[in-house]
Chain A
Amino acid sequence: MDEFINLKETELRLGLPGTENVCEEKETVSCCNNSNKRALPSGSENETESSTRKTETSPPRKAQIVGWPPVRSYRIKNNIQTKKNETDHEVQGSYVKVSMDGAPYLRKIDPSCYKGYSELLKALEVMFKFSVGEYFEREGYKGSDFVPTYEDKDGDWMLVGDVPWEMFLCTCKRLRIMKGSEAKGLGCGV
């Protein structure tokens, strides 16, 4: 059921609606007029590489200059490590708590184990023995008292299914299956 979510509609990309295949190329800027003898393609990340003194003809993209900007390699390494950790924490192996209104205890699942919303919801249905109804982009879930919601990074409670799956994986902090009157407040057709 991959028509379940209309990915194209919610896809974020540059370009006017209705245009296809808009890709912005990075502006190619020729190197500055100053002598650029030590330009390296990826200078700042490799701390052991000595500067190679070669005169450059205009490179295809703005090449990195050795030692510029003047940030110690120690910091650069740490930033790379931070970036890596962030992607690790967000995407892989991060279990989130799942609560259901009225249930005596919570469960934990790893959303990244599932390929999409349909699989996730099916798993939840089995876990908590309920059924979730049908998702509509505008009205939300219809046909059931139970509504799956999740808490995002900003602390807001969102309806499961609105954003692309990958984005959901990154922003979902915990899940809550709302029930009954509280669920109605989320804009299911009144």
Chain B
Amino acid sequence: MTQDRSEMSEDDDDKQSPPLDLRSAAIAEPSSSSSSSSVVVVVDSTPNKSRNCISSSSSGSLTSQPFPDHVLENVLENVLQFLDSRCDRNAASLVCKSWWRVEASTRSEVFIGNCYALSPARLTQRFKRVSSFVLKGKPRFADFNLMPPDWGANFAPWVSTMAKAYPWLEKVDLKRMFVTDDDLALLADSFPGFKELILVCCEGFGTSGIAIVANKCRKLKVLDLIESEVTDDEVDWISCFPEDVTCLESLAFDCVEAPINFKALEGLVARSPFLKKLRLNRFVSLVELHRLLLGAPQLTSLGTGSFSHDEEPQSEQEPDYAAAFSACKSVVCLSGFRELMPEYLPAIYPVCANLTSLNFSYANISPDMFKPIIQNCHKLQVFWALDSICDEGLQAVAETCKELRELRIFPFDPREDSEGPVSEVGLQAISEGCRKLESILYFCQRMTNAAVIAMSENCPELTVFRLCIMGRHRPDHVTGKPMDEGFGAIVKNCKKLTRLAVSGLLTDQAFRYMGEYGKLVRTLSVAFAGDSDMALRHVLEGCPRLQKLEIRDSPFGDAALRSGMHRYYNMRFVWMSACSLSRGCCKDIASAMPNLVVEVIGSDDDDENRDYVETLYMYRSLDGPRKDAPKFVAIL
């Protein structure tokens, strides 16, 4: 199944990223890296005799070669054009200077995993013909208020640089960036052929910025606002789309907390013959949804808005919602239900059998309401819900959804001491019923090692395992033991595991398992876990593919941090908050590793001499520390 970013917003991103080694050879440019998404610092260059090409070294003396002739470069260009994966492109660019140059001139899609890893100028200097641009900003823990606002990740310098360098730019995909209305205006003005704007978990803009994009980007195909904070500037942005037939294929505005002009929306949908994906916000009522559906039966992905109505309908004759849904034969992805009136849920029965993706995670549905729906969803591959469906609901999922690939269960009451309607019972059931499971995010209050072990054995295809036992330090509630064995089994048995988030009571043993078995793990999230520095050392020493490490409230100190110094240039970032780090140690690391930006983030800006580090966020960078750091960030 394709990972459609505009459908489900979470951050399972780049699956491939070349593991880079400090000692790798043949870097084309001494002053820059060979790829946009990774930094390789040349410590020593080992000329590879089997390769007959120029290898540069910091010492500067090169074996001279006749300049590659134009025919060769043209051939290369034609060949490299077909390379899509950035992993392959990064590898190709490492071959020699000629290949580096040709690859740079043919790369049209650029992915930047950390906006502070390089400057916009470097991007435009190396890549000349970029038409599609993916950029990520803040680290994920910023979503949970662990970082003060105004930390950075501004889109402004990127858009202004690209406006001059890439007038042909077609696609911009941002995650956790700070985007202003002015940025959007500049974007709309600078790129006449602009086609796709995707903003995931962004903030800083409002409906006025969206209105400008809607109005000026005449070739717009995709406008996806996903889980972003959009201020209500009281602008009727829907009416700002041009009057004639649009190119729109996807319009997602479910996160926009502002009423919309429904009549204008109806008109827009009517003149958008290519529209396949439509995600409404909660200000669109059931009656209005009904009218839209009648006019757009070609939709494949639908966000249903509120799925309720404010007042009682005028007439006794309620619209036949089920009929409208049954006319939408192509709908395979359903979400919304923001203010669900459960008595209307049966209206979706006609589309259940076709659904591959269902998102109930904004609807507080009981098992009784849920079971009749899910029993029809045999083709379901992606399912998000609230824990209000209970273990009983999960059992129903396990019975029916044999094709399930991705499951996310969110807590309706996200407090540590809330009642937990889902538990190991649900997890066990899913593991037995959904053998093709690849990705799971599961919030619960109680869990057992046995259930986690069962999942590790039953679901060998797991690549993402994120278990959040909401009570901190909570052990296996049946045996009273730590959750070490459960997570150990996951890293051991799930051979394809790339992403892991742990919780519950965990000792160093759990981390020993991770270091021993977690050879493909790229992203690791740790909270309230571990006993000592050894835990972190196991991971830093044992997980060669680790790229993103986020740790909070765990007893890891300086010794552990130092033990990972050989890794940090090969990682995208390390986040450690409320651990046991000292400022002195962080300073040492910063001095020892010049291409690493070491940010210490605190709220106490008076106490500069304080040795305790509240939050450490460090990442590699080709262009040194950023110039836009706010006062509460100290770059060591």
Instruction: Point out residues on A near B: beta carbons under 8 Å.
Output: 26, 29, 32, 34-35, 37-38, 43-44, 47-53, 62, 64-76, 78-79, 81-83, 85-86, 89, 95, 108, 154, 173
Contact = CB atoms under 8 A, between A and B. Distances in A.
A139 to B, nearest CB: 31
B364 A86 contact: yes
A70 B364 contact: no
Interface string B303-327: 0000010001000000000000000
Most-contacted residue by chain B among A35, A50, A67, A76 (CB, 10 A): A67
Given A82-B362, A154-B368, A64 B312 contact: no
B528 interface: yes
Nearest first, the 9 A-B pairs at minimum CB distance are A67-B144, A71-B414, A69-B470, A67-B146, A70-B144, A85-B339, A67-B145, A72-B143, A50-B148
A65 to B, nearest CB: 7
Interface in B239-282: 255, 282
Interface stretch (B49-57, B405-413, B506-514, B618-626): B405-413
Interface in B138-159: 141, 143-146, 148-149
B412 to A, nearest CB: 6
Contacts of B412: 79, 82
A74 B414 contact: no
Contacts of B340: 82
Interface in B385-413: 386, 410-413
Contact of A53 (B141, B144, B472, B604): B604
B416 A82 contact: no
B145 A69 contact: no
Contacts of A173: 343
B324 to A, nearest CB: 23
B145 A47 contact: yes
A165 B341 CA distance: 23
Contacts of B312: 95, 108
A67 B578 CA distance: 12
30 contacts: A29-B417, A34-B528, A34-B555, A44-B415, A47-B145, A49-B145, A52-B603, A53-B603, A53-B614, A64-B415, A64-B416, A65-B472, A65-B553, A67-B145, A67-B552, A68-B528, A69-B468, A70-B141, A70-B143, A71-B410, A72-B227, A74-B229, A76-B414, A79-B413, A82-B338, A82-B339, A82-B340, A82-B363, A85-B308, A85-B339
Interface in B342-371: 343, 361-364, 368
A51 B443 contact: no
Nearest to B469: A69
A70 B339 CA distance: 23
A72 B552 CA distance: 16
B148 A67 contact: no
B473 A68 contact: no
A44 B201 CA distance: 18
Given A50-B148, A78-B362, A89-B341, A71 B603 contact: no
Given A38-B578, A95-B312, A78 B338 contact: yes
Most-contacted residue by chain A among B368, B411, B414 (CB, 10 A): B414
B187 interface: no
Given A81-B282, A81-B339, A85-B308, 13 more contacts: A35-B578, A48-B149, A64-B416, A66-B144, A70-B143, A70-B144, A71-B414, A75-B362, A75-B410, A79-B364, A79-B412, A82-B339, A89-B341
B339 A69 contact: no
A161 to B, nearest CB: 24
A109 B339 CA distance: 24
Contacts of A76: 414
B145 A66 contact: yes
A69 B417 CA distance: 11
Most-contacted residue by chain B among A70, A78, A89, A154 (CB, 10 A): A70
Contacts of A32: 472-473, 528
Interface in B496-549: 527-528
Given A34-B472, A37-B578, A71-B443, A66 B416 contact: no
A53 B605 CA distance: 12
Contacts of B416: 62, 64-65, 68-69
Given A35-B578, A76-B414, A85-B308, A68 B144 contact: yes
A24 B498 CA distance: 45
Nearest to B143: A72
Contacts of A83: 364
B361 A34 contact: no
A2 B361 CA distance: 43
A81 B337 CA distance: 12
Nearest to A71: B414
Contacts of B143: 70, 72-73
B227 A82 contact: no
A103 to B, nearest CB: 15
Nearest to B343: A173
A182 to B, nearest CB: 24
A68 B362 contact: no
Nearest to A49: B145
A52 B527 CA distance: 19
A85 B368 CA distance: 20
Interface in B201-218: 201
Nearest to B528: A34
A35 to B, nearest CB: 7
Contacts of B368: 154
A72 B414 CA distance: 10
Nearest to A97: B316
A86 B149 CA distance: 32
Interface string B434-453: 00000000010000000000
A75 B443 CA distance: 13
B578 A70 contact: no
Given A68-B472, A68-B527, A50 B145 contact: yes
A51 to B, nearest CB: 7
A73 B228 CA distance: 11
Given A50-B603, A86-B364, A69 B411 contact: yes
Most-contacted residue by chain B among A26, A49, A75 (CB, 10 A): A75
B145 A74 contact: no
Contacts of A38: 578
Contacts of A89: 308, 341
A81 to B, nearest CB: 7
Nearest to A31: B472
Nearest to B413: A79
A51 B308 contact: no
Contacts of A48: 149
Nearest to A69: B470
A59 to B, nearest CB: 13
Contacts of B145: 43, 47, 49-51, 66-67, 73
Contacts of A52: 603
A79 B414 contact: yes
Contacts of A34: 472-473, 528, 553, 555
Given A35-B578, A50-B145, A154-B368, A70 B468 contact: yes
A91 to B, nearest CB: 15
Contacts of B282: 81
Contacts of B472: 32, 34, 65, 68
Given A69-B416, A72-B227, A79-B414, A51 B339 contact: no
